[in-house]
Amino acid sequence: MSAFIDIKSLPTEELAAQLKEQGIPAFRAKQIRSWLDRGVTSFDDMGNLPVALREQLKEQYTIPHVAIERKLVSAIDGTVKYLFSLSDGETVESVLMKYHHGWSQCLSTQVGCRMGCTFCATGKGGLVRNMLASEILAQIEAAEQDHGVRVSSIVLMGMGEPLDNYDEVMRFLEMVNEPGGVQIGMRHISLSTCGLVDRIDELRERNWQLTLSVSLHAPNDALRRQLMPIARKWSVDELLASCRRYASHTGRRISFEYAMVAGVTDTDACAKELAQKLKGMLCHVNLIPVNPVDGTPYRRSCGERLEAFVRILERAGIPATVRRTLGADINASCGQLRRKEQQNSK
Ligand code: SAH
Ligand code: SF4
């Protein structure tokens, strides 16, 4: 699949230039674009193209799209969880959440993930492949069409590590704001990363107004290395230094994700160490009670622990909140539905 070019993500002029090199007139690019904008997913359906040209296109290009494999709707809060299949049969998950300001969608950026965090369902199976920019985008188009809503904000927090699929994710972020696209402004986009320091530095140079979420999950190297292999590559101090550079360059508050694991990351000592490390940074801490995943020993912290942790951070002047649980009845956090489907089909 990777040998094929994602035709939907090519700007029309770029496509015209590629066609011209092969002796195909530039106006064909406009015709193709107009079919793509109408949602056509096969070159055979592009009626005004000669059959020989359609065959030629098929040899070089792919029209990425997603199909709904499964859909679960929460009876508690209306959260929708999709399992989408891609053109090659691989599957990814996406969640649509209703907030008072509109619908927010959590998108996948890779099939699987190679970062191997020990508490994560997606990480268990390793990386299958990167998603193409148009496949990432197609999740929004499919959900909007299926559920009859307009998505007004997105979070790249589904399956995969967005900064490990850097080029396609950057192209996706550009496409979202192109004329005729889904038009979701950067301020309504969050990108979550386990902390690839070199990529955070690269992203900073774009000076985009998106929200960078960093999955920190531990205040020191010893603990972070138990949970996240990436912590062996970059220390907590190196990661936080890149976050400080990011916040001061873009003027945007960093959102730190912190998984509350009973008896592991949720102690008073952890809270104090975290408060000390984050001192003076433009940031916010989002506490996520860990979601128990089959085959992992982790349990979620109780409400009292969450409150005590928030209090310690706030007393040190660091804003902190506990993430609201949505779609509790449909297992809305990502990676778990796909794993279940795979296990069932074995
Ligand atoms: N790869 C990126 C984005 C996808 S994961 C990242 O790691 O940031 C989205 C968020 O869910 C991350 O903060 C991740 O650490 C968290 N997460 C993964 N598995 C979890 C679990 N079992 N319980 C709670 N949070 C989890
Ligand atoms: Fe990958 Fe994020 Fe899961 Fe870690 S938490 S394995 S980076 S998806």
Task: Return per-residue pLDDT of the chain as tens, 346 residues.
Answer: 457 999 999 999 999 999 999 999 999 999 999 999 888 999 999 999 999 999 999 999 999 999 999 999 999 999 999 999 999 999 999 999 999 889 999 999 999 999 999 999 999 889 999 999 999 999 999 999 999 999 999 999 999 999 999 999 999 999 998 877 789 999 999 999 999 999 999 999 999 999 999 999 999 999 999 999 999 999 999 999 999 999 999 999 999 999 999 999 999 999 999 999 999 999 999 999 998 888 889 999 999 999 999 999 999 999 999 987 778 788 766 666 676 666 655 4
For the beta carbon of residue 236, count every other beta carbon within 10 angstroms.
Answer: 21
Q: Which of 55, 90, 93, 144 is catalytic?
A: 93
93 catalytic per annotation: yes
Nearest residue (by CA) to ligand 1, atom 13, is 215
H or E segment and range at residue 213 = strand 211-215
* pTM assigned to the model: 0.93
Q: Two tokens at 123?
A: 């990480």
Measured distance CA(313)–CA(310) in Å, rounded: 5
**Residue 322 bridge partners (DSSP):** 287
H or E segment and range at residue 223 = helix 221-227
Tell whether ligand 1 has an atom less than 6 A from the beta carbon of residue 290: yes
What's residue 295's pLDDT? Answer: 84
First and final CA of the chain: distance in angstroms? 24
Measured distance CA(189)–CA(209) in Å, rounded: 8
Nearest residue (by CA) to ligand 1, atom 8, is 193
64 Cα–ligand 2 center, Å: 24
Tell whether ligand 2 has an atom less than 6 A from the beta carbon of residue 194: yes
Tell whether ligand 2 has an atom less than 6 A from the beta carbon of residue 123: yes
Tell whether ligand 1 has an atom less than 6 A from the beta carbon of residue 119: yes
28 Cα–ligand 2 center, Å: 41
C-alpha distances (whole Å) from 294 to each of 78, 93, 297, 299, 346 are 25, 18, 8, 11, 17
Closest ligand 2 atom to the C-alpha of 334?
A: 8
Tell whether ligand 2 has an atom less than 6 A from the beta carbon of residue 32: no
Nearest ligand, CA of residue 257? Answer: 1
Q: Which fold has domain 5-62?
A: DNA polymerase; domain 1 (1.10.150)
Q: Which of the 8 DSSP states describes residue 82?
A: E
Mutation probe of ligand 1 site: the residue of 108, 257, 293 with most atoms within 8 A of C-beta: 257
238 catalytic per annotation: no
What's residue 305's pLDDT? Answer: 97
Which alpha helices (DSSP H) does 66-218 contain, by range?
121-124, 133-147, 166-176, 197-204
Instruction: List the chain domain ranges.
Output: 5-62, 67-345
Mutation probe of ligand 1 site: the residue of 120, 193, 338 with most atoms within 8 A of C-beta: 120
Looking at domain 67-345, its CATH class is: alpha beta
What's residue 346's pLDDT? Answer: 46
Where does residue 3 rank: exposed (0-12), middle (13-18), buried (19+ CB within 10 A)? exposed
Residue 33 in contact with residue 88, Cβ under 8 Å?
A: no
Domain 5-62 shares a fold with domain 67-345: no
Tell whether ligand 2 has an atom less than 6 A from the beta carbon of residue 122: yes
